[in-house]
Amino acid sequence: MIPEIGHYALVLALGLAMIQAVVPLWGARLRDDTLMGTAGPTAFAQLAFAAIAFAALTACYVYSDFSVANVFENSHSAKPLIYKITGVWGNHEGSMLLWVLILALFGALVAYFGDNLPATLKANVLAVQSWIAAAFYIFILGTSNPFLRLAEAPFEGRDLNPILQDIGLAIHPPMLYLGYVGFSISFSFAIAALIEGRIDAAWARWVRPWTLAAWMCLTAGISMGSYWAYYELGWGGWWFWDPVENASLMPWIAGTALLHSAVVMEKRNALKIWTILLAILAFSLSLIGTFLVRSGVLTSVHTFATDPTRGVFILAILTFFIGGGLALYAWRAPVLKQGGLFAPLSREGALVLNNLFLTTACATVFIGTLYPLALEALTGDKISVGAPFFNLTFGPLMVPLLLAVPFGPLLAWKRGDLLGVAQRLTAAWMCGLITVAVTFAITRGGPILAPFAIGLAVYVMVGALTDIFERAGLLRVPFPTAIRRAGGLPRSAWGTAFAHFGLGATLLGIVCESNWNTERIVTLKPNETVSLRSYELTFDGMTTRQGPNYRELTAKFTVRSGGTVVDVMEPSKRNFASRGTSTTEAALLTRGFSQIYLSLGDPAADGALAIRLYHKPLVLLIWLGTVLMVFGGALSLSDRRLRVGAPKPAKKSALQPAE
Amino acid sequence: MTRKQRRLVLIGTGLGVLALAAALVLTALRDSVVFFNSPSDIVEKNVQPGARIRLGGLVKPGTLQKDADLAVRFEVTDGKSAIMVAYRGILPDLFREGQGVVTEGALDTAGVFKADAVLAKHDETYMPKEVADALKKQGHWKDGQETGRDASAVKKP
Amino acid sequence: MTLWFVLSLMTAAAVFAVLQPLARRAPLRSGSDVAVYRDQLQEIDRDRTAGLIGEREAEAARIEVSRRLIGAADAEAPAASVDRTGRRRVAALIALVLLPLGAAGTYLMSGSPHLPAQPLSARLDRPPADAPGERSIADLVGRVEAHLEANPEDGRGWEVLAPVYMRLNRYEDAVKARRNILRLLGEDAVRHSDLGEALTGVANGIVTADAKAAFERALRHDPNEFKARYFLGLAAEQDGRPNEAANVWRELLAGAPPDAPWTGFIRESLLRVDPSTPMPAGPTADDVAAASQLSPEQRTEFVRGMVERLAERLQREGSDVDGWLRLLRAYMVLGDRDKARAAAGDARRALASEPDKLRQIDELVKGLGLEG
């Protein structure tokens, strides 16, 4: 009965979504409170039924009900409970169900918190949100139904792949989805504004926090996926520029741009039309990210051959929402009132620059990701566009942006004073330059550009703190006063500082890791020693151990630095003999922010063991930086104050620090 | 500044950045794109030694030989032609004879493919897409084999 | 019945969610731009008092927000109040009629309301008397796998596991197991063709190049190996050479012992490539086609009938070890453990003089968990 209840709940959710997509819209057009009033309750009911459907599928996984085809294909009765649950979204159908569940959840949240929105805006937003939901319910029911049944439940499910059973891999997709789907709110708000032909003041007040929340989830999701690849794939890479990663990076970049332009819009009532476009783009890229690239629609004609309905359906949905959104934008955007004025040299101007570079960088990633697909479709040539392409395009575009990052928060709204800000950033660029000089001195003969990149990172980090120091009056007023003032600063200011500092930290980690990463691949016999940087690793020997369903070959290494024992590292290789697969469990030794990374190759017949050994300087900063960014986002999100950007009066007063 | 001037500044900067990006993309596409080839492609297209390419196919069973100092040699085949590949380093966990593999590197003058990267995807049942296509072309791959395994479950390379 | 009750309850809840707001008379709570700007003005005052912004900045901001406030107040139009019972009725009608009808229609297109849930625990309990059933298979497989983890060179272990893997549709594992068998226990025709069969399973019934090679190796060991010949025929059919396939299968039939259990199967295949094939009694293509249109219960009956026929035949000619093996598996599939056990006893008696065949029976019995 459970699977059928889930199936029917999904159908009811579709029905409610269709009602919610039409009735409130009709009501908003006629300004009929009663009709608009249906939006809220239907949104809650839709969430309830989507949740029932999801819970039913989860129950089928937990109880190993193999009469459900989807469970049979993707689960196994002997899987640990946690992986039975995470297995729900480890396949196409289940992940689609999770997707609509999150979509319904966001719709219900708007309905719940949206009492202070103008009634027509709320009705329109919920209706648009429901169009998206309805399209995906139809997609699921029509082409990817997880509740299809098998008359006779087979003995045993089909899938039990040890490599995919990893907690990191289990949490990372829902985080990404929260991010992707979170942008649907911004999208719905943008479309609703276009339908109404005006942007309310409440509009901006709403869009920024939702975008911020979605952006935080996306940041965390991408970062988690990257760390998973780093420790699990056994060769220490953390970013591959492969299409699936790019698919999550593109909405992230667009979302970052949206975040910044929404600030301008919220505080200064400017950049309205541009913000709307970005909101449409961010969600469009999310859609492309989840469906186009991953479903293989473009990558291969064969995908169409095996399941034509699914591919065509996805294309139809993408065309409808992306094409429809952009067409509506082209038609209605001129109707919207232009926002406030500002000088090119102002906080607004800096944020426009940020948006310009971010969207351009996003476009280069887009080209790099889709060009091979397009080329294959047109000429049949297969090419791969890899890291060199992105390093050459994405990299240079980031440099001016990073140079500008510390300026943004220090510039005044409306009209700013570039020279004054440059003066106030003295500490930052001095630190940066000193770092460049010192790095050059230490790493004589190394990569030429790397010291500059390090300097840039330091400059961004110090620059991020400058704003806080200045506003707290550190070094100018007595220390306790400064601390008190710093504590009294708006949390959004702290949020900005943390996020920008995190950006610098990530950059520092990336530059150090990719330029001064030491790699050694050697074969060792027991009791032999290999040296890496200032460390010496002695291979003590191997032991084999029996795990629950694998056999583990563990090697023991003693790590010494200058003769004293630092630690012991025990990388291993697990062999799942009955399935014939093996996984490499790398050993990581953390020293400060740096890590020693050790993974095993195959043992040779004579007892020698091939190992892969890396010293990765400051590598942890890559992920700690993203943690700081998310934390900064959370701080800013928790800032419940209304946000008004107070412009400076026209008279010259910009040299005084704003307090 | 008047509204018009401001707009001009904005548009000017925008176009400047776009032009910079376009220039970067075009140079990068010319210099850093790597073509994918099956062994038959290499034979038929007469790929020049030294050109950086990707080579994909099945590891021909019985051809893997491991030498001293982590050097390995194996043949990659698409059922029609086979190319000898030389590599130094640790092979990925999923590397196995008879399974799909993608290597990146260049041919040397003797016709041996010197690979500096060997990629095997991390789901044992997942065939790298290019390899699957190349094999389909040679008729060694049936569509039925592709069933049921969804890419979303297998995200990373 | 319970299911229909629950589904109607859900429908009622959904309809209520739409009707309830339609019945409301009170005007909607609604925020407005004026409210936002008022909040902003207060915020500026608070910031000023807290010393976060200077007086001049605060003044500038106040002026700007006030300007927007005035604009917003002008723009706010009074809500039109018109008679809206008509619209409400339309909306209510949609919810009351279209929602249940649409939902029911959509659901019935793809749902399977007649199928009960079959969670693992329920399936394990089905023959409540001796629950082990499938569980014991999973357990046994796990135990044998664990044993093989420790002793991967134990060929006999793999031999036990391979047919079970085939039964569980774990073809890839079966391929590995059968490769190991060939490596550890030596090559013979049957082992090669078993490998080919597993490879074919991996490819969802397509005889791949690998599988074909395995069957050809089998024929080198024994040109009469039945399974290999059958599959090579199938390969020919899949490669688009139906005449060759027909020839292979015809030869097989011609050389078959009159009562060989697989003749019906071959005829059926033959019929596909050569519709003129005469069909003698036995499970014909028609039977099979009929079976596929039956309901699950009827199909079980049909299978039962076939199994009884097989059992009868084996009573007469007990030396057909393949027949016995199939019979045992068939009983297990049907859930008849007692009959399976009895059949195993019969088989042992009938094959007592042939230790090789006896061993096969014993292994299957062990593999199915029928002992003890």
C239 in B contact zone (CB under 8 Å): no
What is the tens place of the pLDDT at every residue in A276-310?
Answer: 999 999 999 998 877 765 555 544 333 333 455 67
Largest Cα separation within chain B, whole Å, is: 76
Q: From CA C300, how far away is CA C170, in angstroms rounded?
A: 24
CB nearest C36 (choices: A37, A154, A205): A205
Contacts across the B-C interface (CB distance below 8 Å): 19
List CB contacts (< 8 A) between B98 and chain C: 210
- Selected for mutation to probe chain C from B142, B143, B147 (highest C CB count within 10 Å) is B142
CB nearest C203 (choices: B98, B124, B144): B144
List CB contacts (< 8 A) between A245 and chain B: 156
Query: C 167-196 residues with CB below 8 A of A?
Result: 167-170, 172-173, 176-177
Residue A614 Cα, gap to closest chain C Cα (Å): 31
Average pLDDT, integer, range C45-74:
78
Helices (H), A38-91: 39-62, 69-74, 81-86
What is the tens place of the pLDDT at every residue in C214-265?
Answer: 898 888 888 888 888 888 888 888 777 778 888 888 888 877 776 666 777 7
Q: From CA B7, how far away is CA B63, in angstroms rounded?
A: 66
What is the tens place of the pLDDT at every residue in A37-70?
Answer: 889 999 999 999 999 999 999 999 998 888 888 8
Q: Do B124 and A341 touch (CB under 8 A)?
A: no
* pLDDT in the model for residue A623: 94
For residue A658, pLDDT over 60 is answered with: no
Q: From CA A654, how far away is CA A625, in angstroms rounded?
A: 32
For residue A575, pLDDT over 60 is answered with: yes
Q: Do B123 and A163 touch (CB under 8 A)?
A: yes
* pLDDT in the model for residue A645: 52
- Residue A82 — very low, low, confident or very high, per pLDDT cuts 50/70/90? confident
Residue C153 Cα, gap to closest chain A Cα (Å): 11
Q: From CA A552, how far away is CA A543, in angstroms rounded?
A: 8
The alpha carbon torsion through A136, A142, A144, A150 (nearest 10 deg) reads: 140
Average pLDDT, integer, range A558-569:
88
Q: From CA C6, how far away is CA C300, in angstroms rounded?
A: 30
Residue A73 Cα, gap to closest chain C Cα (Å): 11
Helices (H), chain C: 2-22, 33-50, 55-75, 85-93, 99-110, 120-125, 133-150, 155-167, 171-185, 189-202, 209-221, 226-238, 242-254, 263-273, 285-293, 296-316, 321-334, 337-350, 355-368
Average pLDDT, integer, range A374-389:
80
CA separation (Å) from A196 to A69, A269, C113, C351? Answer: 45, 17, 44, 85
CB contact at 8 A, A593 and B83: no
Least confident of A45-49, A237-241, A466-470, C30-34: C30-34
Q: Output DSSP code: residue C94.
A: I
C145 alpha carbon, distance to own chain's centre: 23
CB contact at 8 A, C348 and C358: yes
For residue A360, pLDDT over 60 is answered with: yes
List CB contacts (< 8 A) between B157 and chain A: 233, 240, 242
List CB contacts (< 8 A) between A33 and chain C: 27-28, 79
Question: Where is pLDDT greater, at A114 or A19?
Answer: A19
List CB contacts (< 8 A) between A32 and chain C: 82, 84, 87
Q: Do B98 and C205 touch (CB under 8 A)?
A: no
What is the DSSP code string of A126-174?
Answer: HHHHHHHHHHHHHHHHHH--TT-B-SS--SS-S---GGG--HHHHHHHH
- Selected for mutation to probe chain A from C3, C89, C96, C115 (highest A CB count within 10 Å) is C115
A234 in B contact zone (CB under 8 Å): yes
Residue B138 Cα, gap to closest chain A Cα (Å): 15
3-class secondary structure for B77-135? ECCCCEEEEEEECCCCCCCCCCCEEEEEEEECCCCCEEEEEEECCCCCCCCCHHHHHHH
Average pLDDT, integer, range B125-147:
48
What is the tens place of the pLDDT at every residue in C324-344?
Answer: 887 887 787 677 778 888 888
Q: Do C115 and A580 touch (CB under 8 A)?
A: no
B148 in C contact zone (CB under 8 Å): no
What is the tens place of the pLDDT at every residue in B10-62?
Answer: 888 889 888 988 888 888 888 777 888 888 888 888 778 888 888 888 888 88
- Residue C28 — very low, low, confident or very high, per pLDDT cuts 50/70/90? low
CB contact at 8 A, A67 and C115: yes
Q: Output DSSP code: residue A116.
A: G
Residue B48: other Cβ atoms inside 10 A: 9
Least confident of A232-236, A383-387, B33-37, C360-364: A232-236
Phi-psi region of A457 (alpha: psi -120 to 50; beta: other; left: phi over 0): alpha
To the nearest whole percent, how much of chain A has pLDDT over 70? 90
Q: What is the mean pLDDT of chain A?
A: 84
Query: A 469-488 residues with CB below 8 A of C?
Result: 488
What is the tens place of the pLDDT at every residue in C186-209?
Answer: 888 888 888 988 888 877 677 878
* Residue A71 tokens, joined: 């469970």
Contacts of A368-376 with C-beta under 8 Å, sequence gap 24+, read A368/A241, A368/A246, A368/A393, A368/B25, A368/B28, A369/A243, A369/A246, A369/A247, A369/A250, A369/A293, A370/A298, A371/B29, A373/A298, A373/A299, A374/A298, A376/A299
Binding partners of A (≥3 Cβ pairs within 8 A)? B, C
Q: Do A367 and B25 touch (CB under 8 A)?
A: yes
List CB contacts (< 8 A) between C14 and chain A: 12, 15-16, 45, 49
* pLDDT in the model for residue A77: 74
For residue A212, pLDDT over 70 is answered with: yes
Q: Do A659 and C51 touch (CB under 8 A)?
A: yes
Q: From CA A564, how far away is CA A538, in angstroms rounded?
A: 12
* pLDDT in the model for residue C131: 39
What is the tens place of the pLDDT at every residue in A464-514?
Answer: 998 888 888 777 778 888 888 888 788 888 999 999 999 999 999 999 998
What is the tens place of the pLDDT at every residue in A614-648?
Answer: 899 899 999 999 999 999 999 998 876 655 555 54
Question: Where is pLDDT greater, at A20 or A167?
Answer: A20
* Residue C199 tokens, joined: 């490879």
List CB contacts (< 8 A) between C210 and chain B: 98
Q: Which residue of B has its CA nearest to A387?
A: B32
CB nearest A388 (choices: B13, B32, B35): B32
Q: Do A361 and B133 touch (CB under 8 A)?
A: no
Q: Do C57 and A646 touch (CB under 8 A)?
A: yes
- Residue A172 — very low, low, confident or very high, per pLDDT cuts 50/70/90? confident
What is the tens place of the pLDDT at every residue in A323-340?
Answer: 999 999 999 888 877 666
Q: From CA A621, how far away is CA A508, in angstroms rounded?
A: 7
* pLDDT in the model for residue C362: 81
What is the tens place of the pLDDT at every residue in A386-436?
Answer: 788 998 899 899 999 999 999 988 888 877 788 888 888 888 999 999 999
What is the DSSP code string of A289-349?
Answer: IIIIIHHTTTT-HHHHHH-HHHHHHHHHHHIIIIIHHHHHHHHHGGGSPP-----SSSHHH
CB nearest C94 (choices: A8, A19, A34): A19
C209 in B contact zone (CB under 8 Å): yes
Q: Do A393 and B25 touch (CB under 8 A)?
A: yes
- Residue B135 — very low, low, confident or very high, per pLDDT cuts 50/70/90? low
